[in-house]
Amino acid sequence: MKAEELFKELNVEYEMMKVKGNEDPRYRVKVNADKLEDIIVKFKENGFRHFVALSCVDWIKDGKFELIYHLFSYETLEDVFLSIYIPRDEPKYRSLRHLFPQIETYEREIHEMFGVDFEGNDRLIPLILEDWNDMPPMRKDFDTEKYAKEKYGSIPPVEGGDEE
């Protein structure tokens, strides 16, 4: 089914994203956090079987995290981006790994890099970093240059020579 018909059935508002270079239409929808799972199941049954990526954006001025779920249909050649907003102080959301298996790995990475807790996912062990006990590094208030200078610049060279 085409994406516009599904939007009409579900009664949600959408907007189109600008596209140059590629050619397929891309739709962006803001949904309610409680209704997301039903919407994804409905899209999955109607041809949107390719789950492309799950991204997280830190809107520090609004005090929210945005989670973007991206689906693609090989039959009608359309992209759909579903975004939900969760509060930044205690970020948590339901895990949707029973729908697509790669969502488990995306949730592991977002837990490690942003600090979002996904309930129902029991495999939230670190994927990329090892022995990390500072703040989650992709948040906007983590200063990476200061961290690099303090941690690596303060180690003395072994046999003399200049510091950088």
Residue tagged 């180690």 (tokens): 155
As measured in angstroms, the least distance from the Cβ of 126 to another protein is: 8
115: DSSP letter: -
Identify any residues that bridge with 57 across adjacent strands, giving them in sequence order: 66
Q: Does 79 bind another protein (CB under 8 A)?
A: yes
Q: Binding of another protein at residue 16 (CB under 8 A)? A: no
Number of residues that bind another protein (CB under 8 A): 52
Report the distance separating Cα 116 and Cα 55, nearest Å. Answer: 12
CA distance 151 to 137: 14
- Tell me the closest approach of the beta carbon of residue 13 to another protein, in angstroms: 16
Smallest separation, CB 120 to another protein (Å): 17
Q: Are 107 and 92 in contact (CB under 8 A)?
A: no
The neighbouring-strand residues paired with 83 are: 30, 68
The interface region with another protein, picked from 3-11, 30-38, 48-56, 87-95 by CB under 8 A, is: 48-56
H or E element, residue 148: helix 144-152
Residues that bind another protein (CB under 8 A): 17-24, 26, 28, 49-53, 55, 57-58, 68, 70, 74, 77, 79, 81, 100-102, 104-105, 126-131, 137-138, 142, 144-145, 147-148, 151-153, 155-159, 161, 164
